[in-house]
Structure 1
Amino acid sequence: MNILSNTLLFKRITVLISIVIVSLILWNTYTFFQKFKQAERVKMEILAAAQKEIATNTDLNASVSLPLKVIENNSTVPMILVDDKGIVLNIQNLDSIKSLNPEYLENQLAIMKIENEPIEISYDGKNKQYIYYKDSDLLNKLTYYPLALLLILVLFIAVIYLFYSSNKAAETNKLWTGMAKETAHQIGTPLSSLLGWIAILKMEKVDETYIEEIEKDVHRLNTIANRFSKIGSVPELKKENIVDITKQAFDYLESRSSKQISFSFSSSDTEIYTKINTELFGWVIENLIKNAIDAMLGKGELNLKIESDAKKVKITISDTGKGMPKKLFKQIFKPGFTTKKRGWGLGLSLSKRIVEDYHKGKIFVKKSELEKGTTFEILLDKI
């Protein structure tokens, strides 16, 4: 619990620090943007003063090199100089070819009117000219900087989330693997003892029918122990007749289920071969059959059908149980998800992992209707 609390605290502190840092950078960027914008305004006001000095200078011997240099020095801020009638007198830092088009100039002028207040140049209070300008390319690029920063923050948080999620998933898998192997180890001790008791019962000449049933259950416990011991490791796949393997799991559960359930098994062929791990695949079939039995509340019809073509083996398991809505078709395979009052919601998630991760096949809900039943389908590669 302390580790979990420390992890959550570290996540919160990391996110909080990230938000604070980004907020400070955004505020600093905004402040810098405003100062830069004001600097461009001052620059254009100086240009307007230089323009006025040139226009009002009546002394032919006076030097106008400084005002001209001020005007020519503007190489970044796009501007348009117009008179009081709206006639364009001069342009700077706009596309020279496009500027030959009056419509282009009108569009640029409209943009400038929106972005900045014009600067008025008055000559003796009569003739007036106006300098319209828009933000420079550098200033425009600066406006996208906060968006880029926010994107970086989102990516940073996403990386943190994925990192912790993967760590959590790895820890969970490690925990379940450890529990499974420990369970297999614990089952092994009473299994050895039961084998000894079976030998004693045979010596005492107990009814062979009873001993056979006990041996079946002992064999069953041994199979379960082997299944748990294989969790977390890559299982060995062998060429097997999937009809026999499936029929064994089917028969075992049929013999131990309610007689009010009608079991039906069919196969297109008596021998269909594919590469599987018999113990793990038998576990999948049992999980699906048990879920079907639970969904029918001990009464109904259960049908298992095996079909094949040149490339694939298809196994369908149908029941006449309570069914499920379509929105649950994928959720039921998530670890921990269950519709039962009792249960950990691991059966179908383990089945999915065994079929898709270990056997490279597919398992999914083919169809389901409320109060009518559900059909699961498994697809495997055929040999």
Structure 2
Amino acid sequence: MNPYENKRRWKYLLLAFAVVIASGSLLYTSFLVRGIARSERTRAEVWAMSIRQQFYSDDNDFIKFVTDVRDSLVVPAIVVDEIGDIKFVRGLDTNRTYLQDPVNQAGKKKKKFDPTYFRAQLEYMKSQHEPIKINIFSNEYWLVYYQDSALLTQLKVFPYIQLTVIAIFLLVAYTAFNSSRKSEQNQVWVGLAKETAHQLGTPISSLMAWIELMKDKFSAEDDPLIAEMENDVKRLEIVADRFSKIGSKPILDVHFVYDVITEYVNYFKVRVSNKISFEVKGDQSLKAGINVPLFDWVLENLMKNAINAIDNTGNITLEISLTAKKQIAIDVTDTGKGIPKSKFLTVFQPGYTTRKRGWGLGLSLTKRMVESYHDGRIYVKDSELGKGTTFRIILNNRTNG
């Protein structure tokens, strides 16, 4: 199995496991909430019945007992009569239970309910539970509305707060871990690249010296074979130079994008099958900050990728244009087998490849060189299976700079 696919599968399994844990926590909490809600309904019914019992009993001791039981079982509640006037309240804000009215005829201050506060509380209770009906007399009844206790309310909210805190912790931990892992990967990659450039330096210098010696010894200044050997050695120098630039910010010089692309395409196309045609088109006046050796590497990777996607005969087109945001867009389009939409992001991951002998580093390296070294972007603009793919490179416009 592809290493990247295996890693992604493990991520999905861990995510599924986390969802199972979260769902289990919510279900169990919901079970507890339902149990407490039933208990509070019973408490509200007991309180309601205690009110009714006061109208039917003359035993003061029994009424006191009922009242004590009632007060010990009370949940926040409001009792209204048939027309909706508030008769009793329990368990609400004691500071707002009453307002003081002017002194009545008996010389005592009359008390009444705070209408704004209690109407709001009553509407809230109506939205929470069905009322408990108590018959006061044969032709009269009251309704008892109640709300969840503070404990039940907190229990309902607690699992969401808990899961949110856990999610934030996991996100921070994952971000820190991922950043550390990427930093380690970058250090390994940079060290490997620079060591490769260093190791190539000695044999390249030796080859150049041997070629010069062969020219002098055999008077072969104009020999075409020697000339091709020189071209290959120069190519090795370019490759070594590319690797040496990895890990350090390269110098970007302002170049005409069309000229840089055309020059490399002319070099590249004579080294591949003549059944594949190349075309460079678009605005020739656009300039961008480019490190030519590294950008040539970007083009090489994209065009090699396009050639691998083309079965036998096909076309590769490189088009330069200006986007709506005044940035430079370079579209590399092939007529190959295409990429599934589900793989548009995956193709840039290290290790992803559709070739049996591929390392899956070409497009990953290309993305790094475009985004990290040229301050640009690269993505799959469009692809259709059996018809081809378009990769788009975005560079900052330096035409007037």
TM-score scaled by length of structure 2: 0.69
Task: Find 2:87's aligned residue among 70, 81, 90.
Answer: 90
Question: Paired residue for 2:198?
Answer: 185
Rounded to whole Å, the distance in 2 between the matches of 1:81 and 1:74 is 19
Whether 1:368 aligns to 2:383 is: yes
Rounded to whole Å, the distance in 2 between the matches of 1:166 and 1:302 is 37
Rounded to whole Å, the distance in 1 between the matches of 2:282 and 2:30 is 71
Q: Secondary structure at the match of 2:214?
A: helix
Question: Paired residue for 1:171?
Answer: 184
Matched ranges for 1:67-78 at <5 A: 77-78=76-77
Q: Is the CA contact (8 Å cut-off) linking 1:336 and 1:344 kept in structure 2?
A: yes
Rounded to whole Å, the distance in 1 between the matches of 2:319 and 2:158 is 61
Rounded to whole Å, the distance in 2 between the matches of 1:87 and 1:239 is 81
Question: Paired residue for 2:212?
Answer: 199
User: Quick one: structure 1 residues 323 and 122, their matched pair in 2 at CA, closer, same or farther if it must change by over 3 Å?
Assistant: closer
* AA aligned opposite 2:196: T
Whether 1:221 aligns to 2:236 is: yes
Rounded to whole Å, the distance in 1 between the matches of 2:357 and 2:252 is 33
Q: Is the CA contact (8 Å cut-off) linking 1:305 and 1:317 kept in structure 2?
A: yes
Task: Find 1:274's aligned residue among 285, 288, 297.
Answer: 288
Unmatched tracts of structure 1, length 5 or more: 1-7
User: Quick one: structure 1 residues 258 and 98, their matched pair in 2 at CA, closer, same or farther if it must change by over 3 Å?
Assistant: same
Q: Is the CA contact (8 Å cut-off) linking 1:33 and 1:142 kept in structure 2?
A: no
Rounded to whole Å, the distance in 2 between the matches of 1:318 and 1:150 is 46
Rounded to whole Å, the distance in 2 between the matches of 1:369 and 1:121 is 74
- Percent of matched pairs sharing the same residue: 36
Matched ranges for 1:309-320 at <5 A: 311-320=326-335
Question: Paired residue for 1:3?
Answer: none
Rounded to whole Å, the distance in 2 between the matches of 1:332 and 1:196 is 41
Question: Paired residue for 1:306?
Answer: 320
* AA aligned opposite 1:301: N
Q: Is the CA contact (8 Å cut-off) linking 1:245 and 1:278 kept in structure 2?
A: yes
User: Quick one: structure 1 residues 72 and 197, their matched pair in 2 at CA, closer, same or farther if it must change by over 3 Å?
Assistant: same
Task: Find 1:331's aligned residue among 335, 346, 362.
Answer: 346
Matched ranges for 1:42-53 at <5 A: none
Task: Find 1:287's aligned residue among 273, 298, 301.
Answer: 301
Q: Is the CA contact (8 Å cut-off) linking 2:250 and 2:291 kept in structure 1?
A: yes
Task: Find 1:345's aligned residue among 360, 371, 378.
Answer: 360
How far 1:373 moved relative to its partner? 2.6
Question: Paired residue for 1:139?
Answer: 152
Q: Secondary structure at the match of 1:358?
A: coil
Rounded to whole Å, the distance in 1 between the matches of 2:36 and 2:121 is 30
Rounded to whole Å, the distance in 1 between the matches of 2:309 and 2:299 is 15
* AA aligned opposite 1:160: A
How far 1:162 moved relative to its partner? 2.6
Question: Paired residue for 2:394?
Answer: 379
User: Quick one: structure 1 residues 353 and 168, their matched pair in 2 at CA, closer, same or farther if it must change by over 3 Å?
Assistant: same
Rounded to whole Å, the distance in 1 between the matches of 2:314 and 2:206 is 39
Unmatched tracts of structure 2, length 5 or more: 1-9, 93-112
- Write the deviation string for residues 43-64 of structure 1: whole angstroms up to 9, x where unpaired: 99589769856974578xx9x9
Question: Paired residue for 2:310?
Answer: 296
* AA aligned opposite 1:184: A
Q: Is the CA contact (8 Å cut-off) linking 1:79 and 1:134 kept in structure 2?
A: no
Count of aligned residue pairs for this structure pair: 356
Q: Is the CA contact (8 Å cut-off) linking 2:331 and 2:393 kept in structure 1?
A: yes
User: Quick one: structure 1 residues 33 and 326, their matched pair in 2 at CA, closer, same or farther if it must change by over 3 Å?
Assistant: closer
Q: Is the CA contact (8 Å cut-off) linking 1:37 and 1:135 kept in structure 2?
A: no
User: Quick one: structure 1 residues 53 and 298, their matched pair in 2 at CA, closer, same or farther if it must change by over 3 Å?
Assistant: closer
* AA aligned opposite 1:90: K
User: Quick one: structure 1 residues 31 and 255, their matched pair in 2 at CA, closer, same or farther if it must change by over 3 Å?
Assistant: closer
Rounded to whole Å, the distance in 1 between the matches of 2:182 and 2:293 is 25
How far 1:275 moved relative to its partner? 0.9
Q: Secondary structure at the match of 1:264?
A: strand
* AA aligned opposite 1:146: P
